Structure 1
């Protein structure tokens, strides 16, 4: 049996792509190493995804946004703080739709909604408990061999299996991988203070802090620290952890109470040298693994799968080959153009606000104040964050 499209990885990017391609006369195999039960009921993983207007539009087109809207928390502003300075650089979205920068939605809820949508697609078959062992691509097609001995053949193979993609490696596509030696701790915190629907980012000495506004007096707390320090914080008892969080957030939100499980993620940044190859393409984190500070990793992944689906379906509608070189090259060129400026700008921002050299310490407050004095630039960044 041969499929038209084989997608490896049933995370948000892979699930979105399967939904985007479904209903157009193509046969799609979605391969995932997790069990069917894990896909049906993904557990809370601490991550809250900041969705832009463009991403919400894509999810609405996939018929999953109505299910997610009930859990979404609207975000009106974002502000950036440096150390103990009271000065804040504030971004809004100008004339944004509904006056919002975007919405915060739990990652596990997005995965659940996308999986339910895939289940309604008769042209998508899901292969669970399966792990890639080898891939072979040639002009005539692609083959995926699984560790259990099975083989799948198709006209296009898509890697959607994380920023440390095994399929990317098997395809011979190199990537720039930067292991930062830092880790990101995420959890939900209740607090006495009002977040006013504003996302706040603190660049402080030795740590980066963020509070993302959820519904009610609750926020997603994100702390990026050297790995050993993050592990120490993770291991604290509840009362000690709450006290430490209040201290680290400089008591800005008053009393803080742990409202969820805690989760720790090693921080690795990746950029693939190519997003496409013969009979193959990369989407999501397999293509670009962003630093979380600008909260655009998921949005770029969603945009990428949307772009790939558009190129593949355009070729299929014209009676062409969905895995041909032309559509894949167009996808690669357009997605690299969309990702590279934000990837480079994010890395430059992180470098400036995490270095502890005297020059960097002097430059940080100056950069924030310069941004505040340039309203056109500030509004432009707000529009970029909103991505209408």
Structure 2
């Protein structure tokens, strides 16, 4: 089949790009190796996504927000404030929503609900306009991009062509590699265990980032557990992988006791409230975001360290930026994959993401180094930052996704 755009990967970024372009008049093919039924029943994967205000607006514009609320009325939890801890000290740098113009810094929602809602929006758009074709259950076996166009060959032998191929198939994108774009990986040598917990002490809808000695803990505040009424949160524990394996082997009671201890009792008793999931801690920055007849979006464009919670937000930003460039080119009767069109997208998205990617890596390295000099520097930096209101205002603006 022949398309204007082929998107490789029907994760949140690929689905959102198809939805963002669904009324542009362009014919879109969406290739995904998972089956359609697997996409429709995307399972809970442990990940709670922290949405900036900008991302929340984009999700409303695309209809995802409304679909998620229809699925689960209490799905969105406000993220009002944030605290950053270092070591065993109870002192924290506090980032208040009052430093912004909103009642909250952002929102939290489960990743699997975003996936389901995005697919439902794409299916509705395909029914309404007939310009989106879902090619599911087939992996791409051959990728070619050149001056004349892009071509994907699937496992069943079918070949599809397009004017533009877009990679949206994860930070370890096989499509990006097949096109010949190298990526710089920042492997932190750690793994993350993510799950939902309930706890005794209310979180007041405040997120925690705790750079403790020998471990990193994050607490993402959720709405109270509907079954018990207990305070509920998403917990993210980062350790060397062997430590994570040991945590995965614990039964529910022992896991809760261990997490209670790891949080130094500050949450009261902690109990496991979901399945547990493990992910490697690896940041990825491609050398380029575009090539002839090719572009990257989502994690394929930048794979962030989760400490700033910007991964999905940068993914939505890439979708918005590329969609703007493609719609403008198409409306003007231009080639949507013209070199200057793609170069403008690359320039805009790199400028918006690369500085924070580099800064995040430096912060993560400093606050996970436990030597005596590093501990002193970590503590001094956190105390200094707490006294600098302009700095905290900038951090709040970054978390909220708008200018300070």
The TM tier, using the shorter chain, reads over 0.9
Which one of 267, 284, 291 corresponds to residue 305 of structure 2?
A: 291
Aligned to 2:262: 248
Equivalent pair of 1:48/1:106 in contact (CA under 8 Å): yes
**Stretches of 4+ aligned residues off by more than 3 angstroms:** 93-98
Q: How far, CA to CA, are the matches of 1:97 and 1:32 in structure 2?
A: 40
Deviation, structure 1 residue 265: 0.8
In the alignment, does 2:71 pair up with 1:44? no
Q: How far, CA to CA, are the matches of 2:119 and 2:382 in structure 1?
A: 41
Aligned residues: 388
In the alignment, does 2:16 pair up with 1:16? yes
Deviation, structure 1 residue 305: 1.0
Q: How far, CA to CA, are the matches of 2:285 and 2:106 in structure 1?
A: 26
Aligned to 2:384: 370
Query: If the length of structure 1 is used for normalisation, what is the TM-score?
Result: 0.98
User: What CA deviation, in whole Å up to 9, does each residue of 1:242-272 have, x standing for no partner?
Assistant: 1100000111110111111111111111000
Deviation, structure 1 residue 179: 2.6
Q: How far, CA to CA, are the matches of 2:100 and 2:90 in structure 1?
A: 27
Q: How far, CA to CA, are the matches of 2:323 and 2:141 in structure 1?
A: 26
Aligned to 1:177: 185
What secondary structure, in the 3-state scheme, does the structure 2 residue paired with 1:44 have? coil
What secondary structure, in the 3-state scheme, does the structure 2 residue paired with 1:182 have? strand
Q: How does 1:214-363 map to 2 (within 5 A)?
A: 214-216=222-224, 217-363=231-377
RMSD over aligned Cα atoms? 1.0
Q: How far, CA to CA, are the matches of 1:250 and 1:139 in structure 2?
A: 59
In the alignment, does 2:147 pair up with 1:139? yes
Aligned to 2:91: 87
Aligned to 1:76: 80
Q: How does 1:80-229 map to 2 (within 5 A)?
A: 80-94=84-98, 96-121=100-125, 122-216=130-224, 217-229=231-243
Deviation, structure 1 residue 135: 1.1
Deviation, structure 1 residue 80: 0.2
User: What CA deviation, in whole Å up to 9, does each residue of 1:111-160 have, x standing for no partner?
Assistant: 00000000012211101111111111111111011122111100000000
What secondary structure, in the 3-state scheme, does the structure 1 residue paired with 2:187 have? strand
Q: Which 5+ residue runs of structure 2 have no aligned equivalent?
A: 225-230
What secondary structure, in the 3-state scheme, does the structure 1 residue paired with 2:377 have? helix
Aligned to 2:401: 387
Equivalent pair of 1:82/1:365 in contact (CA under 8 Å): yes
Equivalent pair of 1:94/1:379 in contact (CA under 8 Å): no
Equivalent pair of 2:79/2:205 in contact (CA under 8 Å): yes
What secondary structure, in the 3-state scheme, does the structure 2 residue paired with 1:179 have? strand
Report which stretch shifted further, 128-137 or 101-110: 128-137
Q: How far, CA to CA, are the matches of 1:214 and 1:10 in structure 2?
A: 27
Q: How far, CA to CA, are the matches of 1:341 and 1:111 in structure 2?
A: 28
Query: If the length of structure 2 is used for normalisation, what is the TM-score?
Result: 0.94
What secondary structure, in the 3-state scheme, does the structure 2 residue paired with 1:363 have? helix
User: What CA deviation, in whole Å up to 9, does each residue of 1:260-295 have, x standing for no partner?
Assistant: 111111111100000011000001111111111111
Q: How far, CA to CA, are the matches of 2:34 and 2:348 in structure 1?
A: 31
Aligned to 1:67: 67
Q: How far, CA to CA, are the matches of 1:346 and 1:336 in structure 2?
A: 15
